[in-house]
């Protein structure tokens, strides 16, 4: 999420990935079945966001030429019927707390300083809306300077309903990272349906999963061809909803009315139709993980 990704996968990743097509994924899997001790769980059943778990970022990092600024407001982030809802909003000439002007506001929340961890299985059940240039994400960051402390992108989406992407960033492999892969859904499924997105994180590899089935593997040996493996330190969880910017623009080629966000998606935001729903999020660790 930090910087936009290349849309192709480096040859090294291709030959060492798990080789699973979308048709091989079990679409009936309910996900969330990782074995071990649950060390973090939120099912968003309350009336308000649990601030013991989450901190809204205001204004939050807004790189990549994104169009939104982040605010702590129930107009863009709320709980409804046991779901977390992130919903960007059109707010022309809105000035954030830094005095910068934006036409859109949105939400980004994280568990920094409240929950972080090293190794385990991370999963969230998520549903998305279609719309070119919409850019919701579920991801993790390490504390400290980026990319030295690493980034794990569990699910990124730019509004094309037939695929989502997963990636990592670190020193020597950030921004246009070679470690990125797309999951293409089959004809009967797409990103607008409920899916469980996750990653199994160990000292030697990261395995990204869709509804409990592996879709992409990155090993320490693969990474060390490019730079240091920085995924042995604690990371924290992030949900956010960006709009437009470098990554969507690279996919859709849109420059007007906004960079990476076409008029059709602007209208969706104005109508309150662009949303990300999160049913639950969970981190599970086995006994020998810390």
The residues facing 156 across adjacent strands are 137, 165
pTM: 0.89
- Residue 277 phi, psi (nearest 5): -105, 135
The confidence score (pLDDT) of residue 290 equals 61
> How many of the other CB atoms lie within 10 Å of CB of 255?
11
- CATH code, 11-285: 2.60.120.200
Low-confidence ranges of the chain (pLDDT < 70): 1-33, 289-290
The confidence score (pLDDT) of residue 69 equals 97
The confidence score (pLDDT) of residue 288 equals 72
**Contacts of residue 100, Cβ cutoff 8 Å, sequence gap at least 6:** 59, 69
The confidence score (pLDDT) of residue 163 equals 97
The confidence score (pLDDT) of residue 8 equals 38
* Inter-residue contact 131 to 261 (CB < 8 Å): no
**Contacts of residue 87, Cβ cutoff 8 Å, sequence gap at least 6:** 75, 76, 77, 78, 106, 107, 241, 272, 274, 275, 276
d(CA 201, CA 215) in angstroms, rounded, equals: 14
């Amino acid at each position: 999420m930090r910087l936009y990704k290349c849309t192709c996968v480096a040859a090294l990743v291709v030959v060492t990935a798990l080789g699973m097509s979308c048709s091989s994924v079990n679409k009936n899997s309910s996900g969330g079945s990782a074995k071990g001790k649950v060390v973090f769980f939120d099912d968003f059943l309350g009336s308000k966001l649990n601030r013991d778990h989450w901190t809204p970022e205001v204004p939050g990092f807004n790189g990549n030429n994104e169009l939104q600024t982040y605010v702590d407001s129930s107009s863009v982030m709320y709980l409804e019927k046991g779901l977390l809802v992130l919903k960007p909003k059109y707010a022309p000439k809105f000035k954030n707390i830094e005095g910068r002007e934006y036409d859109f506001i949105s939400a980004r929340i994280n568990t920094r300083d409240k929950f972080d961890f090293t190794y385990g299985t991370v999963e969230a059940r998520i549903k998305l809306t279609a719309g070119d240039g919409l850019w919701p994400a579920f991801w993790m960051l390490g504390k400290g300077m980026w990319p030295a402390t690493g980034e794990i992108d569990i699910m990124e989406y730019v509004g094309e309903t037939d695929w989502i992407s997963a990636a990592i960033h670190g020193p020597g492999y950030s921004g246009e990272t070679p470690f990125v892969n797309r999951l293409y859904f089959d004809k009967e499924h797409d990103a607008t349906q409920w899916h469980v997105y996750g990653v199994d994180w160990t000292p030697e590899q990261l395995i990204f999963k869709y509804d409990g089935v592996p879709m992409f593997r990155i090993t320490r040996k693969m990474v060390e061809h490019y730079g240091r493996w920085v995924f042995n330190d604690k990371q924290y969880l992030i949900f956010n909803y960006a709009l437009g910017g470098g990554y969507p623009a690279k996919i859709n080629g849109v420059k007007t009315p906004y960079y990476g966000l076409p008029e059709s998606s602007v209208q969706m935001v104005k109508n309150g139709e662009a949303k990300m729903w999160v049913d639950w999020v969970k981190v599970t660790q086995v006994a020998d993980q810390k």
